[in-house]
Amino acid sequence: MTPLQLVKQRREINMRIVLLGATGFVGSALLVEALHRGHKVTAIVRHPEKLEKRDGLTATAGDVYDTDSLASLIAGHDALISAFNPGWTPGTVKPEMYDEQVRGTSSIIAAARKAGIKRVLWVVVLAGWRLHRAYNRPTRPASRNGSSLGPGQPVMLWSNFRSCRNSIGRF
C-alpha cells in the first residue's frame, strides 16, 4: 500500500470519541482536531454551555467523580480521551489538587472499564509538579530519554487499563 493510500484509508476511519475536559486549554485543542478529522465527539464537561455548537459535537454535563453516571455517559464510544483537570487558577496554591486528580482519574478508569471502552488517550500537563513536590510527593518522572520533563509540557500516551492502573500511585 502506498503512503497516499494509507492516508486515504486513515481518513475513512471515523470514531465515536468521548472527550473529558473539552473546555480546558489542552482539551479544546483536542476537540478541534478530532472534529477536523471527522470524528463524532461527545464532550463531557462541567459547563456544556461554554462550548459553541459544531457539527459532530454533542456537549454533555458530567461529573468525573460520579463513576456510575460517567460510565453511562461514555458507553457506546470507540475511544475516550481524558484531558481531565480538577480545576485550578494560575498563581494559586491548591493543596488538595493532587488528591482530586487521583480520585478523578481513578473514577474515569473505573467508568471506562464498566462502559467497555477499549481505547484511552490520556493527556497530562505537568504544570502541577512544582506544587506536587512542595507537598512532599515524589519528584516528577523522567522522560523516555532520561531527561526530566518540565512544568507545562504535555505528555500524551495511548494506554491500556493495566498501565493506567499501575501509574496511579506513581505520581
At 6, the pLDDT band (50, 70, 90 cuts) reads: low
- Domain residue limits, the chain: 13-168
pLDDT of residue 14: 85
pLDDT of residue 122: 87
Cβ–Cβ under 8 Å, residues 71 and 114: yes
Question: Closest Cα to residue 161, out of 101, 103, 114, 100?
Answer: 114
Q: Report d(CA 119, CA 64) in Å as an integer.
A: 18
pLDDT of residue 89: 66
Q: How far is CA 133 from CA 12, 27, 48, 153, 165, in A?
A: 45, 25, 33, 16, 22
Residue 111, pLDDT above cutoff 90: yes
Residues 67-89 have pLDDT tens digits of: 999 999 999 999 999 999 887 76
pTM: 0.68
13-168 belongs to which CATH class?
A: alpha beta
Residue 36, pLDDT above cutoff 80: yes
- Residue indicated by cell numbers 467508568: 111
Residue 116, pLDDT above cutoff 90: yes
Lowest mean pLDDT, pick from 22-36, 80-94, 152-166:
152-166
Beta strands in 16-150 (DSSP E): 16-20, 40-45, 57-61, 79-82, 119-125
